Amino acid sequence: MLANTHHASLQSTLKQSLSVTDQPQQVVLLAENICKDINSNGETLRILSQLNLHCTAHETIAIVGASGSGKSTLLSLLAGLDMPTSGKIVVENQDITLLNEDARAKLRGEKMGFVFQSFLLLPTLNALDNVMLPLQLAGNLDAKNIAIDALNKVGLRHRLTHLPKQLSGGEQQRVAIARAFAPKPALLFADEPTGNLDALTGQNVIELLFELNTNTGTALVLVTHDEKLAVRCQRVLKLVNGSLIASPQTKVELEAAQ
Amino acid sequence: MKPFAVLKLAVNLLKSQRLAGELSTLFFALTIAVTATTAVSFFTNRIDQTLLQQGGLLLGGDLAITSREPVVEKYRIEAQKNSLKLSETAEFPSMLVLGENTQLVEIKAVDAAFPLRGDFEIIVSDKTERVNHGPNQGEVWIAPQIAENLQAKVGDILTVGEAQLRVGAVIINETSRGGDMFSIAPRLLMHYADLPATKLVQIGSRIKYQLLLAGSQNTTQISQYYAWAKPQLVAGDRIDDVKNARPEIKSALDKAQQFLGLSAVTSVILAMVAMCLASVPYTQKNMDTYALMRCFGASKSRIWQLLGLQILILAFVASSLGCLIGFALQALLSSFAGALFVEKLASPSLIPLALGFFTGIGMMLTVMLPQLIRVSKVPVLRILRRDFLLSNQYLLAYLPAVLLTITLIYLQANSVNLTFAMLIILLVLVGLASLLVKLAAKLISAIQFKPSNTSLGFASVIRRFNLVSIQVAGFSIGLMVLALLSIVRNDVLQNWQASLPVNAPNRFMINIQDTQKTGVLTQLNAMNIRQPVVFPMIRGRLTAINGAPIDLNKYSDERAKRLLQREFNLSTALNMQADNKLIIGKWWQANELNQPWVSLEEGITKTLNLKLNDRLRYEIGGSTIELTVKSIRTVEWDSMQANFFAVTPPGTLANYSASYITSFHLPDTKISELNQLVKTFPNLTVIDLSALIKQIRDIIFKMTAAVQYVFLFSLLAGLAVLFASLQATSEERLRETVLFRILGASKQQLAKILWIEFLLIALLASFIALLGANALAYYVSENLLNIPYQFNWFFSIQVLVAAGILIPASAWLMTRKLLATPPRQLLQSI
């Protein structure tokens, strides 16, 4: 099992380096040797240790792992929501560990999109306003049209003025996806995007995410438990003991194995 | 992001929250705050002006410059410059002749503008009329006494000096007559322009000239003029406003104004408390929004801009609305209250509107500042980790709110000491609230309750320790100011009632001779008049102080000169009069009679520079006596009792001839009997004070009504604000209620838990409030109103009971809807 994993990991690394040399892909996200310690009751706990990750444009990566393995912590570090104890994280050629919180926020606004397990729509804003919000914050003057277009793409053209609580869970997540894709980010982080949805709705949301990934070229970094979702990604990385190891579960690899 | 885009987004965010409870609570609290501030200050402002005008009735204007010479031109010019209304009068005694009959009268010549305040009630051809002007040129109006004594009637021609003037009317009531309590002669009114023709004005004639002034709208006009004129006065001239013209009115007016100021302070404090309570859940609810925005790339300054703009817009709308409602309310209130006043309430000035508006904006900004800081520091991680703690609050951020409160209290109370006292009490209250809640929580957790709804209710208090502390502090401050207002109101009203009881003496009888004393008393007794106290009156002139003869030139004070030229009325008494208060020295004992001692009134010792143990030589009827000052006391001149500057022990002045003075209450039904008595003893002089007393009582009655109205309004505003703050904290309970419901708690159980929790809060809060209110009331009564403070057990129990019922009941009323909703629906609203 261990050898197998090791082998897969090697294979994956090989493939990555190959692809880099074959067709030079732009690296949108790079994490080098990141460590994250937290203090818990006076004891220092190392959540992430010497973790490495890189993601190129268009790429889709799933990060899986047991509960409490540090998936969400990793995601928050990659998105610049939190700072690593050591190591460096580069997003679109900018080392975000060197930026202050406001600069990181600016970078998030320009380059990153987010989809959360609990949707996190603003309860008092309707669907359209929710999608418009990041666009408005970025100073986009055409926010409304872009937002309508984005909602159209997720099939919610007819629900623009509905408040989140008037929408079903699936619809809410579709609004969140429209909100994430509307500013055309280079990188999209999704934290258990199907975690709060039933199987069928979850499936629809997955289709939507990958469809948009194909159409827009936005790289996807997903944290998930959902195997169906994980296997759709080009790479599946498993977080074990604070480090990422490749897992031979991707659709491509499964197909190759067959 | 362009500025306009920021504004648009801010408006959008604000508009989108229209349904959210936290926003409406904040908005509601601010609107009520501004409404209360505006309405109370509008109303107090108008009543303040009206009361001054009411007082002005006694003076005939708002200000009077009195002089022995015709009024100097510059006073008139300055008055015209300030667009004050003015009127000139001259007053002097004169003998009037009609046929065989003569009569001493008090002539008052008035111009066409007189009276500036008040009116006359006159009889012309058997019809009573109210007019607000004096007699026409060529006419006189006479008091009924003159008409009777001279057998004169309307249309007759009277000889006044060398002028022939026609009787135009008989005066029944003259509002400005009250200014001269002891002018014994009956009134004759004539036109100022007829004065030269009478040839009564000659060099050396004792004429009192007055220039009366009245402002049109605000009282500042008058106070500015007063401040200008005061230093211009030459020796012998005087300027009086309503307050220093009549001590009884002054003390009543002062108390009314202080009370109204206190009411305005109350509304300010209540408003601040409600706003503070409402601001916390508002930001808590919005924390996610701003964390999410940070996640989407908004900078800290953008968050500040967005929140700041929303708060400004909110403040602007709520303040405008509050001003509008406040204005409407005071108009409504004034239309009720106005009916109680003779004249209509003074029209409102715009100051309260501006004050209310800017108070609202200022309150919102300062109250929200700490919340803004919290929100702008919201960690983005809150998005992923819901349990993330909010950044600690900066105590310094609360400073602007505290400073604003202090400023507002000072503006309304107009007293540094009161502001300071309020501040200390407020700080102590907040500290006490958290301390007592902590103690209560400790106590509750120490006691092992059997698992029951009661213990669950107690447990809520421990669980939500911080929230409960804030709530107890908020309620106790709110209750404290309301209780304070009630206590002070009671004190003021009782003091007013006591100052002029129904049977206050309304007649003075002077000049009773030694031999007539028993006879007069017997007859008064027969008339069922309560045994009146009779004081001897010995007239003596002060000729030397500590052996040094009096030199008038050494006194610069006009009043001192006047007093020294006249004879003093000395009296004797065994006991000090009840309304006097000894401030220095000792009153004599029963075994110290016949001693050459004297007790002096405080005012006169100041005017004449006298002190304890000074030796005063009096010349009484050709012989002299030297008296040592043994005590100095204050006298309540407004008590309508006979009082004396100088009192000696009984026996000391036994060898000097005395006349006697007494005062008593004469019921209207006994007037003819009194006339009978005066006929038996024709040398007696009876001074009728009933008209003056009626006027004073009228004014006090109106002030009482005003105080009651303002109190009622403050009470309503206070309750509304308390209700708002209750709502502000209800959100926290929603989550818990839902959880309890899901875990199987019944509606009854939840209601019981709620009742117990809030009963505890209410009792703690009202206990703290009563402590604070009584401490402040003690301070206000003793130091500002000069009313002795009394702790009122009954009132305290009433407050405890009322709070113990009202607060849990309101809390229950507000959560009742929650209890009736199915849990599934509630889950969605979290």
DSSP string, B675-738: HHHHHHSTT-EEEE-HHHHHHHHHHHHHHHHHHHHHHHHHHHHHHHHHHHHHHHTHHHHHHHHH
B295 touches chain A (CB under 8 A): yes
Q: What pLDDT does residue A8 have?
A: 44
Mutation target vs B (from A36, A115, A133; most B CBs, 10 A cutoff): A133
Q: According to the model, what pLDDT value does residue B316 have?
A: 93
B355-403 tens-digit pLDDT: 889 988 998 999 888 888 877 777 777 666 655 445 455 678 888 888 8
Contact B298 A105 (CB under 8 A): yes
Alpha-carbon distance of B134 to B776, in angstroms, equals 49
Q: What angle do CA B225, B227, B229 make, to 5 degrees?
A: 65
Q: Count other C-beta atoms under 10 Å from residue B67's C-beta.
A: 19
pLDDT of residue A160: 92
Has residue A30 got a pLDDT over 90?
yes
Q: Which long-range contacts (CB under 8 A, 24 or more apart) does B230-238 make?
A: B232/B74, B232/B75, B233/B65, B235/B558, B236/B67, B236/B68, B236/B558, B237/B65, B237/B66, B237/B67, B237/B68, B238/B65, B238/B66, B238/B67
User: How many Cα atoms are found within 13 Å in the side-chain-facing hemisphere of A146?
Assistant: 19
B49 beta partners = none
- The partner residue sitting opposite B381, judged by closest CB among A82, A114, A136, is A82
User: For residue B487, what are the contacts with CB-CB under 8 A and spacing of at least 6?
Assistant: B773, B774, B777, B781, B792, B795
**Distance from A73 to chain B by nearest Cα, in Å?**
9
Cβ within 8 Å, pair A72-B384: yes
Per-residue pLDDT of A7-18, as tens digits, reads 444 444 444 444
Establish whether this prediction's ipTM goes over 0.90: no
Q: Tell whether B97 lies on the interface with A, counting CB pairs under 8 A.
A: no
Chain B residues closer than 8 Å to A191 by CB: 384
Q: State the smallest CA–CA distance between residue A247 and chain B in angstroms.
A: 25
State residue A10's pLDDT score.
43
Question: Quick one: pLDDT band at residue B599, thresholds 50, 70, 90?
Answer: very high
Range B457-479 average pLDDT: 74
Please report the residues numbered 478 through 517 in chain B whose beta carbons come closer than 8 angstroms to any beta carbon of chain A: none
Kindly determine whether residue B297 and residue A165, on different chains, have CB atoms separated by under 8 Å.
Answer: no
Query: In sequence order, which residues have a C-beta less than 8 Å from that of residue B164 and are 6 or more positions away?
Result: B157, B158
Q: A136 vs B300: CB contact, 8 Å cut-off?
A: no
In eight-state DSSP terms, residue B50 is H
* For residue B461, pLDDT beyond 70: no
User: Token pair of B333, please?
Assistant: 């209130």
Is pLDDT of B725 > 80?
A: no
Is residue B693's pLDDT more than 60? yes
pTM of the model: 0.64
Over residues B19-55, the pLDDT tens digits come to 456 677 778 778 877 887 787 777 777 766 666 666 6
Provide CB contacts within 8 A for B771, sequence distance 6+. Answer: B432
User: How many Å apart are CA B508 and CA B211, to the nearest integer?
Assistant: 30
Find the angle CA(B789)-CA(B790)-CA(B792) to the nearest 5 degrees: 140
Scan for tokens 């909010």, then name that residue.
Answer: B390
